[in-house]
Amino acid sequence: MVVRLLQEAAFYRLPLRVALMRNVLQRMSGVSYAKRLQYNALIRPEYGFCMYNAAVLARALGYKEISAIEFGVAGGAGLVNMERHAKEIKKELGIDFQIFGFDMGSGLPKPEDYRDMPYMWDEGFFPMDRQRLDSRLEMAKLVIGDVRETTTGFHEQYSPAPIGCIFFDLDYYSSTVGAFKIFDTDPSQYLPRVYCYFDDVLSEGLRANNEYVGVLRAINEFNEGCGDQKIAKIPGLMVSRKIPAYWNEQIYVFHDFSHPKYCDFIGNPHRDLPVG
């Protein structure tokens, strides 16, 4: 946590007092979850952002329970963290979570072609220690297998609560395309807007991400091929947050414009602002 704070402070030139404030807030049990989230004073605030906003949306639309999904579990630190976020969010908003983790179990499959960026990823990366992970999980359920197959029968097999947020960390173009099949179901199975985090859309020099390979290509092709369903970034998220962070650029939202509840009014904090 301290290393991440120093990295963000160096990159975004945040005042040292802000970094120290976040460190203090994270350790103060009396501070609300929402307040700590504003200052990124949480472990994996990107997960907290998606889960919290999904819960706020769910409550506004009259849902009592939603599902949170992670594609690409590996060692399971993300799932364990999701369970912690779920407990805190329920205390503040009263929304229950069902949590699911999709993974091959054996690590990454063999790359299919250049779109999977085989110069960066290889077969067997990120294997799961299933026995150890099972001992750490309290409520999350593992869905093991090829996502192109496990997503197809997921809703029938698990009868999950409507999906509110998804964390994509599958590395490959092909696997991400397969994961998008989770949306090939009746709109009652997900919220009209599903908060998404994509781990592999940012880049450094050698990875050289671009819109023609990897996850960015998968997103672009999804948008081109789906009429009323789109996956889009939240413009200006970084400047709207109290504390900017690199993960703001990794937040997207799945929109289903034809969802029966898409146009339902959910409230607007700007409605009562003075004019002029």
State residue 16's pLDDT score.
46
249-to-116, 140, 200 alpha-carbon distances in Å:
21, 27, 11
pLDDT along the chain (276 residues), means of 10: 53 51 56 92 96 98 98 95 97 97 94 96 91 94 96 95 98 97 97 97 89 97 95 94 92 98 85 53
Q: Which CATH class is domain 44-256?
A: alpha beta
Break the chain into its structural domains and give their ranges.
Answer: 44-256
State residue 2's pLDDT score.
52
pTM value surpassing 0.85? yes
State residue 33's pLDDT score.
94
